[in-house]
Amino acid sequence: MNERFVVGNWKLNKTCQEARDLLAQLKSARVFADVRLRCVVAPPATALFASAQVLQDSPIMLCAQNINATDAGAFTGEVSGPLVYEAGAHFVLVGHSERRSLFAEDDAAVAQKLAAAAKAGLTPILCIGETTEQRRNNQTRSTVQQQLRAGAAAYLAAHMGPLVVAYEPVWAIGTGATAAPADAQAVHEVLQETLTALGPQGAPRVPLLYGGSVTAANAASFVAQNNIDGVLVGGASLSAESFVAIAQAVCPP
């Protein structure tokens, strides 16, 4: 079994105290000590430092939800790679569909953020996925290929660092509807082919995650597919009970 990922994206939820409480519960769950499992959680930026303190002696790693492509300067309200790295993050989500649709991030911005992440020592988790309309128009394959190429080509060509890719159909995020595992697998095959064509010889394998309404009830069916290395979880990562159950489904004893 390849290393499996379970990533929790808390979005705009959790105060510092709530983050400490949730992480204290996660820390005591035995599943996260399994060396086959890479657990990553993405609190809001304000709770990264408090979270890092709780996780000092834990294999659970921290992820920022966003960074600016610039390290420092006159960008009111933004955070940068060096700032979140110092606060304790080792990963960063880049190109999440909410950033693309609500904050007008395009593929060019996504590519710049990937480079900024690598420069700061962060592993980017590049999120891609088609909208309902693109799906209806049979554009799933071309959409994810375009997003992956636009985001990852320069990154991989320049050997910038490790990369994780999450396929998250936009219509499945926060809706309770998920891709059928076989359909997700088919998209992951396209991603794998695209990466193979892009990647320099000998590049380490890029873990491919599925996201969109993942729960404890459906997580196992995704990682049972050949090319799905783990899950990116939103709503169901907000309680210890459901996140631990998802981790157990992803990495059974």
| d(C-alpha 111, C-alpha 106), whole Å | 9
65 contact partners, CB below 8 Å, separation of at least 6: 9, 10, 11, 42, 44, 45, 92, 93, 96
CB of 100 to ligand PGA, least distance (A): 12
Q: Does 194 bind ligand PGA (CB under 6 A)?
A: no
Nearest to ligand PGA of 7, 84 (CB atom):
7
CB of 8 to ligand PGA, least distance (A): 9
Catalytic residue selected from 90, 96, 105, 241: 96
Give the residue, chosen from 66, 143, 185, 213, that forms a contact with ligand PGA under the rule CB under 6 A: 213
| d(C-alpha 18, C-alpha 237), whole Å | 13
CB of 208 to ligand PGA, least distance (A): 14
Give the residue, chosen from 95, 129, 212, 230, that forms a contact with ligand PGA under the rule CB under 6 A: 212
Binders of ligand PGA among residues 173 to 192 (CB under 6 A) are 173-174
Nearest to ligand PGA of 207, 212 (CB atom):
212
CB of 217 to ligand PGA, least distance (A): 13
Q: Which stretch binds ligand PGA (CB under 6 A): 16-24, 63-71, 167-175, 181-189?
A: 167-175
Residue carrying the six token digits 């959790």: 14
90 labelled catalytic: no
Catalytic residue selected from 98, 130, 168, 188: 168
Q: Which stretch binds ligand PGA (CB under 6 A): 69-77, 109-117, 141-149, 212-220?
A: 212-220
168 labelled catalytic: yes
What x-and-dash track marks residues 225-244 binding ligand PGA by CB under 6 A?
-------xxxxx--------
CB of 112 to ligand PGA, least distance (A): 21
* Residues with active-site annotation: 96, 168
The residues of the shown chain that bind ligand PGA, judged by CB under 6 A, are: 9, 168, 173-174, 211-214, 232-236
